[in-house]
Structures are given as C-alpha cells and as structure tokens.
Amino acid sequence: MRIFSGIRASGDKTLGNYSGGFRQYVATQERAVGEGGEAFFCVVDLHSITTPFEPEALREATLSVAAWLFATGLDPDRSTVFVQSHIRAHAEAAWLLGAATSFGELRRMTQFKEKAEGQEFVSAGLFNYPVLMAGDILLYRTTVVPIGDDQRQHLELTRDVAERFNQRFGETFVIPEGEFPEVGARIKNLQEPDRLMSTTRGAPQGVVRMIDEPDVIRAKFKTAVTDSGRDIVHDPEAKPGISNLIEIMAVATGAEIGDVEARYDGAGYGGFKQDVGEAVVELLAPFQQRYRELRADEAELRRMLAVGAEKASVASGPTLEAMYDRMGFVPPLR
C-alpha cells in the first residue's frame, strides 16, 4: 500500500484544520506504517499559484503548513513529508500528462467552473490544475489517495488519464483508488455553529486558531454560543452550538460523543464550555510549542523537508524517466 496526500498551503490554520486534516494525516501515517506500506504527504505549493497569490505569503504559508504537519505528529523518518516544488518531477509530469488529457475533460471539471466564475483573470494554471494533481499521484505509483469528497472528480480524471497513457505508451502507471474517509468532526464556528470554522469567513471570535494563546482560547470558548434548554446532548439540528462543543471535546480528548454526553449529564452549559476550552488548551499546547521551535529554527525545518525530498525524489524519479522514455524523448547523453 502506498498512500499519497496533497495538502494545500494556505493561511492561518484552525482547530477545524486539525480535526479534518492534521489529525487524520497522523492516523494515515500509523496505518501505513502498521501495514508495511508507505505514506507520502506533499505540501502542494505549485497548486497555490493557480489562483491570485502573493510570493511572500506563499513562502510563509508553505513553511507554516510544513511546520504544523511535523508539530502535530508526522514523523520525517516514518513518513515522507515534502514540498512539491522541491521535486521538479511534478511540474514535468504535468506537462507530459497534458498529452494524455483532453481539453473537453478539463473544461467539465466542476471545481474549475466554480473557481473561474466571475473572475477577471482565469489562469491557464487553474485550467490545468487537475493535470498537476494527476502527476502528483501517478509519479509515486500510489495505490490509495485519501481525499475529500470535493476531489472525487479530480481523482476520476487521474485514473482516466493514467489508463489512457498506459494504453497509448505502454504500462507505466498504477491506477490509484480513492478513499473518502468519513470526515471526522466538522468543527463549526463557535459564534455561528451553522458554518464551518474557517479564517476566511465568519466571526473571528468563533475561530480557534492553532496558534492562539491559552487565554485567547479560553475566552473564545467562554463566549461560545449555546442553545436554548440546558441539556448537554448531541443533536446538531436542534442544538448546533452544544453539539459542536461536544464534538470538539471528543476531538480534543479522544473520547466518544456518548462518553462526553454521559459525563456532562445534568451539568450546566457554563462549566461545560470552560472544560472544553481547557481541553483544547491542553490539546494544542504541545503542538504549539513544537511549532514555535520549528519556526524559530528554519534550518531544522528545512532539513526535515530535505529528508522528505530525498525520499520523494527516489520514489518519483524512475516514473518520470519511464514517462519520457515511453513517449519517445531522446535522453541526454550522460
């Protein structure tokens, strides 16, 4: 089993990113290692330039995401954690795979249509985004791609392109399977429990950032909105606020939803909110410390990424060579 995950480099990370992302990557690492397989975690910085971006922000977001990946538990020795642009094969594979991808397929991609709509400048990169992604996956002879539901179509395209290439130029790629994990707790904004916790939208007071100081976290939970009634029960329809807090408690402590309900049976909202805040402070403290250490020692962080790049290069190089060779390119004399 070989697992490949692509992680977008983007702004401030939140508790929502922990629940739906970082936490799951660590679980993936353990599973891959446990089953004698390998897991690749790639910070997909080349994908970041398909929509408007600032160079300085890209640099910061890339280092920040990488630091969070390590800080929350990915291990450079047991997994391969690397930055996409460090492996030139990704850009090259995307170009070569363009020969096996049709304009019509790309034009049908829902994400392209959504992201292009109403934009003044739609880059060629945005159109080609799925080809770059196909290269990411195929270069590593990936068997399993854990991926969000919104990426289903891109994975289907990857499989189609791989099959077309194999038929046209000879067996080169492994056809990957998608895996659509039950998204764990989809953590909501503490002030607006009907929307996901995200830094780009919604009340900032309801957004717990990975880097928030303990007192800031406590204050955000203290002011979290609750619901009418006074029972601490998980009922997302009728009690979105309390249900969100129960889910956060479950994520922070590893307890089941039912255990949280049982423990707070008959307790008041005020004390519960305080306890959830405290649990999150405790959850994040070691991650924050490790994150700060890594950000203070950029050389160390980049060394860790270099370990990943070395392994990624060994894994992807032969596939890229095979692609050039089968397509009829004359190799340079060495």
Subset of 153-182 contacting ligand TRP (CB under 6 A): 154
Coil vs helix vs strand at 82: strand
**Nearest partner of 151 among 187, 179, 174, 113, judged by Cα:** 179
Binding window for ligand TRP (CB under 6 A); candidates: 94-102, 116-124, 142-150, 178-186:
142-150
6 is a site residue for ligand TRP (CB under 6 A): yes
Calpha distance 37→52 (Å, rounded): 37
20 binds ligand TRP per the rule CB under 6 A: no
CA distance 194 to 300: 40
Structure tokens at 1: 């089993």
- Residue pair 84/45 in contact by the 8 Å Cβ criterion: yes
Nearer to ligand TRP among residue 147 and residue 301 (C-beta): 147
**Shortest reach from residue 141's CB to ligand TRP, in Å:** 13
Choices 60-68, 131-139, 182-190, 218-226 (CB under 6 A): range interacting with ligand TRP? 131-139
**Total residues at interface with ligand TRP (CB under 6 A):** 14
Binder to ligand TRP among 3, 4, 242, 287 (CB under 6 A)?
4
In three-state form (DSSP H/G/I as H, E/B as E, the rest C), the secondary structure along 262-289 is HHCCCCCHHHHHHHHHHHHHHHHHHHHH
Give the separation between CA 182 and CA 196, rounded to whole angstroms. Answer: 16
**Among positions 14, 22, 87, 136, the unique one binding ligand TRP when judged by CB under 6 A:** 136
DSSP 144: E
Closer Cβ to ligand TRP, 5 or 14, answer by number: 5
Nearer to ligand TRP, 47 or 273 (CB): 47
Distance CA 309, CA 55 (A): 22
Q: Which stretch binds ligand TRP (CB under 6 A): 2-10, 18-26, 246-254, 312-320?
A: 2-10
Give yes or no for residue 133 binding ligand TRP (CB under 6 A).
yes
Read off φ and ψ for residue 187, nearest 5 degrees. Answer: -70, 135
**What residues contact residue 309 under an 8 Å CB cut-off, 6+ apart?**
82, 83, 86, 87
Of 148 and 271, nearer to ligand TRP (C-beta) is: 148
- Torsion angle, alpha carbons of 314, 319, 320, 323, to 10: 170
* Smallest gap from residue 168 Cβ to ligand TRP (A): 23
CA atoms of 325 and 321, how far apart (whole Å): 6
How far is residue 135's CA from residue 95's CA, in Å, rounded to a whole number?
Answer: 9
Query: DSSP string spanning 26-44?
Result: HHHHHHHHHTT-EEEEEE-
Question: In this chain, which stretch among 146-154, 186-194, 267-275, 294-302 interacts with ligand TRP, using CB under 6 A?
Answer: 146-154
Out of 81, 138, 139, 147, name the contact with ligand TRP by CB under 6 A: 147
Binding to ligand TRP (CB under 6 A): which residues in 24-83? 44, 47
**Contact pick of 17, 19, 151, 189 for ligand TRP (by CB under 6 A):** 151
Which of these segments, 3-11, 54-62, 165-173, 265-273, binds ligand TRP (CB under 6 A)? 3-11
Nearer to ligand TRP, 139 or 304 (CB): 139
Residues lying near ligand TRP in the complex (CB under 6 A) are found at 4-6, 8, 44, 47, 133, 136-137, 145, 147-148, 151, 154
